[in-house]
Amino acid sequence: MALVVSTVLASPKHSDTIVINKKVLNTAKAPFVTNNGTELLTNWVGLNVDFQYVKPVFDFVNATQSIANGSLISYGEAHVTVILPPEYDNILHPASVTIDELNALATHKNRLQSAKFGLECLGRVQAVSTPDNAVQIILKDYDDIIAYREDVFKLYVKKGGNPALFDPWNFTPHITLGFRHRDIFVEDGIYKGKNACIRKIIAK
């Protein structure tokens, strides 16, 4: 018996599998959200996900003692980060790739919002040097997202960027559910891939 996550939460003792509304995968109906700023770490590209389907999973995870025990903070929205802020600040922008160009690539024929992907699992990561941790939905079968990053790579190289600095395939997409104190990243020594799985999750 799968654990159906809804506004009424079932007891986790019956199963380790979480079921999320399959409409969460239909991101083409969600608007593309731009993330532009003038400060460091404020420019990035994301695939917007309808939070109404993600929130019940956050509520369940946060209420589950063995996972979060009420300690998680939510962004109050959901997305898949496709171009990370450090990638833009440290690699793409110095090669004169602009955030407007990245957004134009993403919105052409609603390309990024129409990207197909699947759900691998519920993941959890713990930073080594701090008590911070984060819980996320880890994705699979995300070729459309990689194809976008490949086109960003082509633009970057065309503008004279060093190809050794940007790897479009070195990427572990996920939807952050919540975190303790702050979100954590690869710079904290963690990897949000299949290695971090703690429970199955299926869209139904």
- In the chain, what is the greatest distance between 2 CA atoms, to the nearest angstrom? 55
- What are the residue boundaries of the structural domains of the chain, listed by start? 27-199
Say how far apart CA 36 and CA 173 lie, in whole Å: 20
Distant-in-sequence, close-in-space partners of 194: CB < 8 Å, separation ≥ 6: 120, 121, 138, 140
Cβ atoms 75, 179 nearer than 8 A: no
Say how far apart CA 135 and CA 58 lie, in whole Å: 9
Alpha-carbon dihedral 91, 182, 171, 63, rounded to 10 degrees: -170
CATH topology of domain 27-199: Cyclic Phosphodiesterase; Chain: A, (3.90.1140)
Encode pLDDT of 97-108 as tens digits: 999 999 999 999
Say how far apart CA 175 and CA 67 lie, in whole Å: 16
What angle, rounded to 10 degrees, do the helices at 143-158 and 99-107 form? 140
Q: What is the pTM of this model?
A: 0.90
Encode pLDDT of 31-59 as tens digits: 999 999 999 999 999 999 999 999 999 99
Distant-in-sequence, close-in-space partners of 21: CB < 8 Å, separation ≥ 6: 53, 56, 203, 204
Q: Mean pLDDT in each 10-residue stretch from start to end of the chain (204 residues)?
A: 34 67 98 96 97 97 92 96 96 98 98 98 90 94 98 98 98 96 87 95 97
